[in-house]
Structures are given as structure tokens and as C-alpha cells.
Amino acid sequence: MVITTGDVVAWYDIEDNTGTDLLDNSANSNNFSFSAAPPAWVTDAPTGLTYSLDFVTADRVPMGSSLIPNSAFSLAAWVKFDTDGVNSHVFGRNASFLFGTQSGDKSASRIYDGYAWSTISNSGTTVTTWQHLVITWNGSSTMAMYTDGAASGSTTQNSMANTGATLYMGAYNPTSDGRYMDGHIAQAQIFNKALTSTEVTALYNLGTAQTYNSFFASGTNAQINIGDAWKSIEGMQINIGDSWKVVEGAQVNIGDSWKTIF
């Protein structure tokens, strides 16, 4: 698998349907409590999932200031915007970056370096339809955006400002303006690198039903030798009809008996 567990900062399945916490399903425990204006658990979700978070008015989830420093990162989420032509932010951080829609744009990703904003506008994003959106930044020069596994724009940005500010899911700067999320978010991820186009496409092609545990279906005995070092196989895929599918189990025949290796 091209994406490893070491690439994951946080992975939110958003399949809990209970409580007032955003629970990280990876081993990193980046859990956060909903704010005084929490989103609602609803059963409106993309195919393969059951629940999403419905953000209206001033709903948001504060996520601290350490998840995205001034270095390479990627954000991914299944998103459904409810209203066209308004500010609607999936993730945001004041005077630093935003990921969502801007008034007049179908979709926009922006990073601020302290002097000017670099913006990607994507006219292919729709409202009232579930789409898979990804933003990547390599930490030094290039920001890119992807919609449903395909590249939808890129721009140049050399640095990012105000990295000590609070990151929000569902808002940009709730303390001073009305830039919130108007719509639904399901299965969101934060990565500590700029995903390649191949990795973004693989993430999308796996479909929405991949929880963290099923995406990284782990085995205790399967290994491969790379550069004279044995590496654990954390997941396997097979290509069927030009679409990569996760192999959730593998066996090997030992002494005329099939043994599960993961």
C-alpha cells in the first residue's frame, strides 16, 4: 500500500454516531471535543458509510495548533456542501490556510504566507452531492487540489503563516467572521506529507467504506525484504477492472494446509 500508518496524523472514520468528541481512529489519539456549537450526527452519508457530521450556522470542532505545522501535509475528506456561492470551510486556520468553498467559487484551497494568499479555484465541485476532496502542500513550493481522485488545480506557495493558531474542522476563523461549514463531512484524514497523485487516486478508488482498520488491514507474519531489511506488510491491494481493491486476508500453503498470514 502506498500510504502507510506512519503517514497518518489523524484518521476520523466519523462512524461513532454518539457523544460530543471527534475520535481519532488511528493510534495517534488526536481526539477533540466539540465546541459550544457542535455539529450533529446524521445518517446522510456517502455510499458505504452510515453517518456524517452536519455543520450548520456556527458549528465547528477546534483541533488545537499542532496537527499542521509549517511543513508538508495533506487533508482529505468526503464532503457534501449544502449551499452554493457561500463561504463554507471543511478545515481552516485564521491567517494561515483554508480548505472549502469561497463566495463566488465552487471550491477553493488557500494558503497565506504572511503577505499574500495563494488560491486554487475548482469549478468542478458541486453542491448537494458527496465528493472526495483532497488538498496537499509539499511544504516549500506547491499546493495541489484533487476532486474525486483527479487533479483539479495547483499553485505555488513557499511558506505558511500563523501556524500557531487553532485548526478547525468546519470553520476558518470563528472568533471574528462567519466563515463556517454549511454541509456534511464524513471520513476525514490528515497526513504528514503531500500525497502523490497516485496515492490520492488510490485513496479515492478504495471507496468510502474503508475505515482506518480496514484500510490498513495488518498482518503479524507477512513481510517483504527491501534492501536487506525485512519490512512488515501492513496492507495488500489487487487491481480488478482498473480499480485497486484492498486484500483483507491472505493465506499461504504450508504442508498441504492453508495458513492465514494476514
pLDDT at 29: 94
CATH number at residue 109: 2.60.120.200
Last residue of a domain, one of 169, 186, 207: 207
246: phi then psi, degrees, rounded to nearest 5: -75, 135
Residue 127 makes CB contacts below 8 A (sequence gap 6+) with: 80, 81, 82, 83, 84, 183
Are both 26 and 140 inside the same structural domain? yes
First to last CA, the chain: 14
74 vs 143: CA distance, rounded Å: 9
pLDDT at 3: 87
Its domain, for residue 221, covers: 217-260
Are both 151 and 51 inside the same structural domain? yes
Are both 47 and 161 inside the same structural domain? yes
146 vs 29: CA distance, rounded Å: 27
Are both 130 and 243 inside the same structural domain? no
For the question of whether the overall pTM of this predicted structure is more than 0.85, the answer is no
Alpha carbons within 13 angstroms on the beta-carbon side of residue 7 total: 23
Are both 41 and 159 inside the same structural domain? yes
Residue 46 makes CB contacts below 8 A (sequence gap 6+) with: 52, 78, 80, 130, 186, 187, 208
Q: What is the number of structural domains in the chain? A: 2
Residue 212 falls within a domain, yes or no? no
Per-residue pLDDT of the chain (262 residues; tens, 9 = 90+): 478 899 999 999 999 888 899 999 999 999 999 887 889 999 999 888 889 999 988 889 999 999 998 899 999 999 999 887 677 889 999 888 888 877 655 556 777 776 778 888 766 667 888 999 999 999 999 999 998 999 988 988 888 899 889 999 999 888 766 678 889 999 999 999 999 999 998 888 876 556 788 777 644 445 566 766 555 555 567 777 777 766 655 665 555 656 555 5
Are both 224 and 182 inside the same structural domain? no
Pairing relationship of beta strands 32-33 and 21-22 according to DSSP bridges? antiparallel
Q: Which three cell numbers stand for residue 147?
A: 476532486
pLDDT at 203: 86
